[in-house]
Chains A and B, each alone.
Chain A
Amino acid sequence: MTRRDTLVGQPVERLEDLRFLSGRGQYVDDRSVDGMLHATLVRSTVAHGILRSIDTTAACALPGVHAVYTAHDLGAKVPVIPMRMEANADLARFEQPVLAHGKVRYVGEPVALVVADTAAIAEDAAGLVGVDVASLPPVLDRASSERGEVLLFEAVGSNRGLSLQAIRGDAAAIDAAFQDAPYTRRRRFKVHRHTALPMETRGLLAEWDPVRQRLTVSGLVKVPFAIRSLLATLLDMPESAIDAVESDCGGGFGMRGEFYPEDFLVSFAARRLGQAVKWIEDRNEHLLAMTHAREVECDLEIACDLDGTIRGLRGRGAYDLGAYIRPNAVTAPRNFAQMAGGPYRIPALHMDVAMLVSNKTPAGSYRGPGRFETDYFRERLFDIAAGDLGIDRVAFRRHNLLRRHEVPGRLPVVMPYGTGGETDSGDYHETFERCLAEIGWHDKVALAGRQVDGVFHGLAVGSYIEGGASGPREHARLVFEADGRVTVHVGSSAVGQGLETIFAQIAADALGLPMDRIAGVFHGSSGIVKMGYGSLGSRSTVMGGSAILDAAKNLDHALRAAAAARFGCAPGEVSIEDGLRSAAARGRSLPLAGPAGIAADGIEAEGVFENNRRTYSYGTHAAHLTVDPATGQVRLLEYVSVEDVGRIINPMTLHGQVLGAIVQGLGGTLLEHLVYDGQGQLLTGSLASYLVPAADDFPNIRSIVLENHPSPVSPLGAKGAGEGGVISVGGVVANAIASALSSFGVQPDELPLTPPRIWELIQRSSGQVDLP
C-alpha cells in the first residue's frame, strides 16, 4: 500500500475539539447512573503516628450513610499497591496499603472510606469519623531520613530504599578522569517538590452488576489495562469480569492514572454494596494525595581539560520519594542518573542516586521525570565550569555536544536493573545553532549581566535529549465497517493530547482515505483491543501509530482475501480501487461496502507494534530574561525551543505540547512549590498558595520543530515528543538568572527561583544584608 501523506504532517484541526468546545466532553464526573452512591476519603491529618483506633459509630449513624470502611473491613491482609515499573524486592518493602493500618505516614493518607447517598452527606460523615493517632516525630528532610533515627517502616530498619547507579566507563577510568584532570568542580544542587496539577482532579465511577457479577470502572486513564489487571488481582476477580472505561481526561502529565488507593477502594465499595459508587477528588485532596514529584538533591562534580573538554561527570543524589514507593517511583531516579550527561560527550560517568522515604506525599513521575532535574544540575554546572575556565558557555557546549557521527550512541547502564540502550538518530548541533540564531544570541549576549533601566539582563542556552516510545508493544484494530467507513481501535489512551486526531490522520493516510471516512477513534478502554499499554513516556504516537500502520497493512490483506474469495481468484489479482470503495479482478468489479458489498458484514484487521528500542528526540532551549534587583522579580522576555522530533504528524498539536510543557517548566522553576511545615503539614494545599502560571505570566515563548532526522526505530519515523518542552527549562532559566546577576556572583543552586529567594541571593552575594 502506498502512503500518500496527505494528512500526516498537516495542522489538521482536532476531532476532539467539537465536543470539548461545546461542553459535551465526558469527564468522569459528567456521568451519573441511577442509584449511584458517593464516596469520600477520611485522610490522615497527622504526618507520622501510630494509628490506635478509628471510631466510625457517629458517621455510620448519620442518615444516608451506607458504609464506612477501614482497613479492618478489607480482610485479613490489607491489599498493597505493587510497583508497576522496575519492580524490586528491596523497594517493595515500602509499598502502600490501600488503607492505613498500624501507622499513618503522611498527611492525606487514606484511613477510611465513607459511602453515602450524596457527596455532601459523605463529607459530613467523614467529619464524624474519629481517628486516634499517637504522633511520632516526622521525617521531613534528607538528613533525617538518612540518619534513620526515626523510621517510617520499623520492620525494614532503614528509610533508604534501593540505590541506583548509572555508569559509563569502568571504575578505574572514572577515578582516573577525576584524578588526572587539571580542573574539577563540585557543587550541590537541589530541585524542590512540585507536581503536575492537571486541571481536572481525579475521579472514579465504579458500577457493580450483581446479576452478571461484573465490575465497570470509569475514569481510568493512562494505563487502563494495567489498572484492570491489578484490580482483578486485588479484588480476586477474573480480569475478564472487569470493564475498564476510559473517560475524557482533564490532563495527565504522567501522574494521573497510576494505581492509587482510591482505585481499589471505590471498586471494592461498589462490589460490597452492590451499587454504583462515585468518588471525585477535591483540590485540597488532590494536592495531598496525587503523587508529588522532582524533590532531589545532588552533589555533582565535573572534570575537564583546560580547553573545556569534559573528561567525566559524577554525582551522588538522593530522591525524597515520600512515604511510600508508588508504582512508577523509580522512573525519575532512573532517568536522573542515566540522563545526567544529556546530549554531551561524557566519556566517564558515574551517578549514584538513593531513594529515600519521608513523611510526605508519595512521589511519582511527572512529565520529563528525572530529566528536568538532571538537566538543571548539569547545565548549571556547565555554566559554572565554563566561567571558571574562562571559556564562553556557548563555546563550551559546542565543544562538548555530541557530533552527528557519534549518534546513535550507547547510554549509561543503570544498575541494578542493567538497563542501557542507545539513542537513535539526530544532529544535536543543528538544533543548538538554530536556537542560538532564533534568539539572536550573537546580538543579545552583550546585554548579559548588564543593567538597563534598572533591571539586569540575562541569557542562557542548554540542550537535552528526550526518551520516547517506551515499549513493549501496542495493539490496534481497524474495522472496515459495513457502510464503508473505517473505525480505529487502539490500546493507547488519551490524556488530552489529541490522540484521536493524530490516529485518524495516520489511519487515513495509511489507507489512502480522506479524514471523513474515519468514523471514530476508540482508545484506552478494555475490550477495544486485546491489550493496551496506554500513554506514558511519550509513547502513544509512535507505538499506537505504528500499530495502526500494521493494522492498515493487514486490513488491505483482509479486504483482498475477501474479494479474492468472492471472485474466485488469488488475492494478488485483486486491486482495491477508488479509495476503498470497490475491488476488481478479472474484469469484474464489486463495491466493498453496502449489503451486496464484499465487506457487507464488516471486515477487520489487527495490528501490533513491538519495540524494545526507544526514540530520542532532542533539542535546545534559550532564554532571555531580566531580573529586578530590588524585588527579585524575573521577567521572561523571550524563550525559544528548537527540537527535532523525527517526523511531525500534526504540527499544531505538537507545538501545543511543546509550549504547554515549557510553561509547566517555567511554573516549576519560578512559581510552584509544595511546602511542608516542621510537622509535615502541607502549607500549599490550595491553588491560592500553590501557584501555577497564569495567562499573563509568560507571553513570549516560541517553539520551532524540525523533522530532519527520522527515527529508525519506528516505521513512522516519528519520535515521542510530549515531554521535551519541560526538560531544559530549569537549567536554562536558572543560568539566565545567574547570567543576569553575574555582577553579584549569584549562583542559584536551588529551585524554585521565586522573587524572595532571588532577592535573598542578591543580598547575600552583595553582602548588603546579613541574613540568617
Chain B
Amino acid sequence: MSNPPPRTVRFTVNGKPAAVEVEPRLTLADCLRHALRLTGTHVGCEHGVCGACTVIVDGRAMRSCLMLAVQAEGCTVETIEGLGTGLDEGGAEALGPLQAAFRRHHALQCGFCTPGMLMTAHALLSREPDADADRVREALSGNLCRCTGYIGIVEAVLDARPAYQAGAPGGQPATGGIDRTG
C-alpha cells in the first residue's frame, strides 16, 4: 500500500496565515487539531452527522471532518479559538456575546459539542440575526448534544441576537450562512 506524498496547504485561520504539510487524506479537522494544535474543534463522529467539528470556511459553516485539509487551500477558516473578543482589561480571555449567552443560559454541560454549536450559531446569526426559535432549532438540528436537551442552547442563541442585529460581533466579520437548511 502506498499513500500519495504529503503536500503543503496554505489557508488563513482566525485571521492568521497557516502553511501545513499534510497527507492528502488528512481531514481539515485533524489538520486543525493535530497540525495546528487548535484543539477547540472537536471530532465526534468523523462521518458528518454530529456537527462537533463545525468550523466556518469562507463564511459558511462546514463539517471539518468531511473536508480534506488540502481542500482548504486559499480559504479563510474560523474556529472556536477565534470567536472570543480577545482579552478584557484584566488580561482575561473575554467571551463574545454568543459565548456569554451560552454561559448565562447553561447551554453546555460537558462542553464537547459546544464549539460546533457556537460556530453553527455564529454562522446563522451572522446571516440571519432575526432568526426565530423554529429557525434556530432547524439550523442547530445538525449539531448533536447529549447533555442539555438543547433547551438552554436555543435560548442562548435567541438571547444573543441583539449583538448580531447591531453588526457581526466577535472574530472576523462573517458573511455567509450555514451549509444546512434542515
Chain A residues with CB below 8 A from B142, complex form = 694
B138 touches A696 (CB 8 A): yes
Q: Which B residues are CB-close (under 8 A) to A24?
A: 40, 93
A662–B39 Cα distance when bound, in Å, is 31
Query: Which of the segments B66-74, B76-84, B160-168 contacts the partner chain?
Result: B76-84
Contact (Cβ within 8 A) B110 A250 = yes
User: Interface 1/0s, chain B 27-62, versus A by CB < 8 A?
Assistant: 000000110011111111111011010000000000
Cβ contacts under 8 Å, A11 to chain B: 106
Check A23–B102 contact: CB distance below 8 A: no
Decide yes or no: A13 and B137 within 8 Å by CB, A283-B46, A686-B49 being known contacts: no
Given the complex, which residues of B lie within 8 Å of A497, measured CB to CB? 109-110
Residue B143 at the A interface, CB < 8 A?
Answer: yes
Q: Which residue of A lies closest to B1 (CB)?
A: A124
Question: CA A205 – CA B137 in complex, angstroms?
Answer: 36
**A737 at the A/B interface (Cβ < 8 Å)?**
no
Within 8 A of B (CB), among A1-38: 11, 13-14, 16-27, 29-30, 32
A251 CA / B1 CA spacing, docked (Å)? 38
* Complex Cα gap A699–B34 (Å): 37
Query: B113, A199: Cβ atoms under 8 Å?
Result: yes
**Are B80 and A22 within 8 A (Cβ)?**
yes
A652 to B37, CA, bound (A): 33
Q: With contacts A120-B23, A655-B106, A656-B152 known, is A22 near B141, CB below 8 A?
A: no
A201 at the A/B interface (Cβ < 8 Å)?
A: yes
- Given known pairs A198-B110, A199-B113, A686-B49, the reply for A659 and B149 (CB within 8 Å) is yes
Q: Which parts of A652-686 form the interface with B (CB within 8 Å)?
A: 652-653, 655-657, 659-664, 686
**Chain B residues closer than 8 Å to A120, beta-carbon distance:** 23, 25-26
CB under 8 Å from chain A, chain B span 107-144: 108-115, 118, 133-134, 136-138, 140-144
On whether A688 and B47 interact (CB within 8 A), knowing A120-B23, A199-B144, the answer reads yes
Give every chain A residue within 8 A of B10 (Cβ-Cβ): none
Contacts A21-B108, A23-B39, A199-B52 given; does A283 touch B149 at CB 8 Å: no
Whether A199 touches B112, Cβ cut-off 8 Å, given contacts A21-B99, A120-B23, is yes
A23 pairs with B34, CB closer than 8 A: no
Is B19 part of the binding interface, using a Cβ–Cβ cutoff of 8 Å? no
Interface check A301, CB cutoff 8 A: no
Chain B residues in 8 Å Cβ range of A22: 40, 80-81, 83-84, 93, 95, 99
**Chain A residues with Cβ under 8 A from B146's Cβ?**
196-199, 251, 253, 660, 664, 692
Contact across chains for A660 and B148 when beta carbons are under 8 A apart: yes
Pick from A18, A249, A661, A698: contact of B93, CB under 8 Å: A18
Question: Given A14-B106, A655-B106, do A25 and B40 touch, yes or no (CB 8 Å)?
Answer: yes
Residues on B with C-beta less than 8 A from A137 are none
Q: Tell me which residues across on chain A come within 8 A of B42, comparing CB atoms.
A: 27, 199-200, 250
Does A251 lie within 8 Å of B49, measured CB to CB?
no
Per-position contact with A for B143-159: 1 when CB-CB < 8 Å, else 0?
A: 11111111111100000
**Cβ distance A204 to chain B, nearest Cβ, rounded Å:** 16
From the candidates B33, B99, B104, B141, name the one contacting A694 in the complex (CB within 8 A): B141
Residues of B within 8 A of A14 (CB): 103, 106
Q: Is A248 an interface residue (CB 8 A)?
A: yes
Is A282 in the interface zone, CB < 8 Å from B?
yes
Query: How far is it, in angstroms, between the C-alpha of A283 and the C-alpha of B134 when the chains are bound?
Result: 29
Instruction: Tell me the bound Cα distance from A656 to B148 in angstroms.
Output: 6
A696 & B137 in contact (Cβ 8 Å cutoff): yes
B47/A687 in contact, CB under 8 A:
yes
Contact B143 A695 (CB under 8 A): yes
Is A521 part of the contact surface with B, judged by Cβ < 8 Å?
no
Q: Which residues of B contact A561 (CB under 8 A)?
A: none
B182 located at the interface, meaning its Cβ lies under 8 Å from any Cβ of chain A in the complex: yes
The number of A-B residue pairs with CB atoms under 8 Å apart is 185
Nearest CB of chain A from residue B78's CB, rounded to whole Å: 11
CA distance A653 to B93 in the complex (A): 23
Does A440 interact with chain B (Cβ within 8 Å)? no
Nearest-neighbour CB distance to chain A for B76, whole angstroms, equals 18
Q: Are A17 and B39 in contact (CB under 8 A)?
A: no
Contact check, B150 vs A23: say whether CB atoms are below 8 A apart. no
Q: Mark A382-403, 1 if CB is under 8 A from B, else 0.
A: 0000000000000000000000
**With A21-B118, A27-B42, A120-B23 as contacts: A495 and B110 at CB distance below 8 Å:** yes
Measured between beta carbons, the chain B residues less than 8 angstroms from A659 are 148-149, 151-152
Closest B-chain residue to A197, C-beta based?
B146
Residues of B within 8 A of A472 (CB): none
Roughly how many angstroms separate A496 CA and B110 CA in the complex, as a whole number? 4
Taken residue by residue from 163 to 184, chain A's Cβ proximity to chain B (1 for < 8 Å, 0 otherwise) reads as: 0000000000000000000000
Is B106's CB under 8 angstroms from A248's CB?
A: no
On whether the beta carbons of B151 and A688 are closer than 8 Å, the reply is no
CB distance from B172 to the nearest CB of A (A): 16
Q: Is the CB of A30 within 8 A of B95?
A: no
Interface residue A701 (Cβ < 8 Å from any Cβ of B): yes
A715 at the interface (CB under 8 A from B): no
Chain A residues 37-86 with CB under 8 Å of chain B are 62
- Alpha-carbon separation in the docked complex, A660 to B151 (Å): 9
- Closest chain A residue to B137 by CB distance? A696
Q: In this assembly, does A527 line the interface, its C-beta being within 8 Å of a C-beta of chain B?
A: no
The residues in A between 183 and 210 inclusive whose CB is less than 8 angstroms from any CB of B are: 196-201
User: Which residues of B lie under 8 Å from residue A274 when comparing CB positions?
Assistant: none
**CB distance A251 to B108 under 8 Å?**
no
Q: Is B114 a contact of A695 with CB atoms below 8 Å?
A: no
Chain A min CB distance to B70 (Å)? 15
Pick from A17, A30, A249: contact of B103, CB under 8 Å: A17
20 A-B pairs in the complex with CB atoms less than 8 angstroms apart: A11-B106, A18-B95, A21-B99, A23-B79, A25-B111, A29-B39, A198-B112, A656-B106, A660-B109, A663-B148, A664-B146, A664-B149, A687-B45, A687-B50, A688-B49, A694-B150, A695-B153, A696-B138, A699-B133, A699-B150
Cβ-closest 8 pairs across A and B: A23-B40, A496-B110, A20-B111, A250-B112, A663-B149, A23-B80, A687-B49, A30-B39
